[in-house]
Amino acid sequence: MNTLLQAEGLSYGSGDRMLIDGIDLAFAGGSFTVIIGPNGAGKSTLLRLLSGELHPSRGTVRWNGESLNAIPAWRLAHRRAVMPQASDLTFPFTVLEVASLGTQGIGRGLSRGDRRRLAHEALEQADVAHLAQRNYQTLSGGERQRVHFARVLAQLTAGRTLETQQILFLDEPIASLDLKHQLALLQTARTLARDGLCVIAVLHDLQLSADLADDLVLLERGRLIGRGTPGAVLTPTRLAEVFGVTLNASPLPPSPWRLAVA
Amino acid sequence: MTALALHDGGPRFALRERTALLLAALAALVLLTSLAALGLGATGLAPARVFGIVADALTGRTAAMEGDALIVLQVRLPRLLLGLLIGAALASSGALMQGLFRNPLADPGLVGVSAGAALAAAATIVLGDALLAPLIGPLPFHALPVGAFAGGLLTTLALYLVATRGGRTSIATMLLAGVAFGALSGAIMGLFSYLSDDRQLRDLAFWSLGSLSGATWTKVTAATPFILPMLLATPFLARGLNALSLGEAEAYHLGVPVQRVKALAILFVAVAVGASVAAAGMIGFVGIVVPHVLRLLAGADHRMLLPASALLGAALLVAADTVARTVAAPAELPIGILTAAIGAPFFLWLLLRRPGGMAL
CATH of the domain at B261: 1.10.3470.10
Residue B87 covered by a domain: no
Query: Cβ(A155)–Cβ(A185) under 8 Å?
Result: no
Q: What angle do CA A141, A143, A144 make, to 5 degrees?
A: 65
pLDDT band at A5 (very low <50, low <70, confident <90, very high): very high
pLDDT band at A256 (very low <50, low <70, confident <90, very high): very low
CA distances from A113 to A34, B99, B290 (A): 35, 26, 31
Q: Say yes or no: A135 contacts chain B, CB-CB below 8 A.
A: yes
pTM: 0.83
Give the closest of B8, B239, B295 to A92, CB-based: B295
The Cα B243–Cα A105 span in angstroms is 10
- Domains annotated for chain A, with CATH where assigned, are 1-64+165-261 (3.40.50.300), 88-163 (no CATH)
Residue B96 CB partners (closer than 8 Å, separation 6+): B234, B237, B241, B265, B268, B269, B306
**Do B250 and A134 lie within an 8 Å CB cutoff?**
no
Q: Indicate whether A160 pLDDT > 80.
A: yes
In the DSSP assignment, the letter for residue A132 is T
The Cα A30–Cα A191 span in angstroms is 9
Model pLDDT, residue B315:
94
Write B232-235 long-range contacts (CB < 8 A, 24+).
Answer: B233/B264, B233/B268, B234/B92, B234/B95, B234/B96, B234/B268, B234/B306, B234/B307, B234/B310, B235/B303, B235/B306, B235/B307
Query: Which of A89-93, A218-222, B201-205, B309-313 is predicted most confidently?
Result: B309-313
Q: Say yes or no: A79 contacts chain B, CB-CB below 8 A.
A: no
The stretch A29-45 carries a mean pLDDT of 92
pLDDT band at A83 (very low <50, low <70, confident <90, very high): very high
Which regions of chain B does DSSP assign to beta strands (E)? Answer: 164-165, 168-169
Residue B333 covered by a domain: yes
Question: Which of A113-122, A143-152, A219-228, B46-55 is predicted least confidently?
Answer: B46-55
pLDDT band at A147 (very low <50, low <70, confident <90, very high): very high
Q: Say yes or no: A163 contacts chain B, CB-CB below 8 A.
A: no
Beta carbons within 10 angstroms of residue A196's beta carbon:
13
Model pLDDT, residue B53:
82
Q: Residues B222, B325: one domain?
A: yes
Q: Residues B157, B67: one domain?
A: no
Q: Residues B68, B156: one domain?
A: no
Question: CA A260: distance to chain centroid?
Answer: 22
Query: Cβ(A33)–Cβ(A17) under 8 Å?
Result: no
Residue B231 covered by a domain: yes
Q: How many residues does chain B have?
A: 360
The Cα B254–Cα A76 span in angstroms is 8
Q: In what order do the strands lie in the sheet with A17-28?
A: A17-28, A3-14, A58-63, A66-67
Looking at B39, B72, B105, the residue that finishes a domain is B72
Q: What Rg value do the Cα atoms of chain B yield, rounded?
A: 21
Write A186-195 long-range contacts (CB < 8 A, 24+).
Answer: A186/A212, A186/A261, A187/A261, A188/A125, A188/A126, A188/A149, A188/A153, A189/A32, A190/A32, A192/A156, A192/A168, A193/A30, A193/A31, A193/A32, A194/A30, A195/A30
Q: Residues B136, B269: one domain?
A: yes
Query: Cβ(B189)–Cβ(B264) under 8 Å?
Result: no
Q: Residues B282, B197: one domain?
A: yes
Q: Residues B124, B64: one domain?
A: no
Best CA proximity match to B288, nearest among B85, B104, B152, B116: B104
Best CA proximity match to A35, nearest among A187, A213, A190: A213
Give the closest of B247, B255, B359 to A73, CB-based: B255
The Cα B349–Cα B352 span in angstroms is 5
**Do B256 and A73 lie within an 8 Å CB cutoff?**
yes
Model pLDDT, residue B10:
37
The Cα B120–Cα B152 span in angstroms is 8
Residue B291 CB partners (closer than 8 Å, separation 6+): B91, B94, B95, B98, B104, B305, B309
Model pLDDT, residue A80:
94
Predicted complex ipTM = 0.89
Average pLDDT per run of 10 along chain B, which is 360 residues long?
A: 38 65 93 89 79 80 72 86 94 90 74 78 77 59 75 83 76 81 86 83 78 84 89 91 90 91 87 85 84 85 93 93 85 82 77 55
Looking at chain A, which residue has its C-alpha nearest residue B243? A101
Q: Residues B62, B146: one domain?
A: no
Q: Residues B186, B65: one domain?
A: no
Residue B323 covered by a domain: yes
Model pLDDT, residue A262:
44
CA distances from B165 to A65, B160, B171, B261 (A): 29, 10, 11, 17
Residue B3 covered by a domain: no
Q: Indicate whether A86 pLDDT > 50.
A: yes
The stretch A159-171 carries a mean pLDDT of 92
Question: CA B179: distance to chain centroid?
Answer: 19
Model pLDDT, residue A192:
93
At A110, the amino acid letter reads L
Q: Residues B225, B324: one domain?
A: yes
- Identify the domain containing residue B30 by its residue range: 26-72
Residue B12 covered by a domain: no
Q: Which residues of B touch A (CB under 8 A)?
A: 1, 3-4, 7-8, 16, 98-99, 102-104, 239, 242-243, 245-247, 249-250, 252-258, 295, 299-301, 359
Q: Residues B219, B319: one domain?
A: yes
Model pLDDT, residue B161:
83
B299 CB neighbours in chain A (<8 A) are 92-94, 97
Residue B85 covered by a domain: no
At B21, the amino acid letter reads L
Q: Residues B140, B264: one domain?
A: yes
Q: Say yes or no: A258 contacts chain B, CB-CB below 8 A.
A: no
Best CA proximity match to B41, nearest among B322, B261, B358, B271: B322
Q: Residues B253, B329: one domain?
A: yes
pLDDT band at A19 (very low <50, low <70, confident <90, very high): very high
Residue B88 covered by a domain: no
Model pLDDT, residue A81:
94
Beta carbons within 10 angstroms of residue A113's beta carbon:
8
Higher pLDDT, A46 or A259: A46
At A145, the amino acid letter reads Q
Model pLDDT, residue B5:
38
Q: What angle do CA B63, B64, B70 make, to 5 degrees?
A: 125
Looking at chain B, which residue has its C-alpha nearest residue A101? B243
Calculate the average pLDDT of chain A: 88
Q: How far away is chain A from the Cα of B15, in angstroms, using its nearest Cα?
A: 10
Query: Cβ(A181)–Cβ(A146) under 8 Å?
Result: yes
How far apart, in Å, do the first and last CA atoms of chain A sit?
Answer: 25
In chain B, the number of structural domains is 2
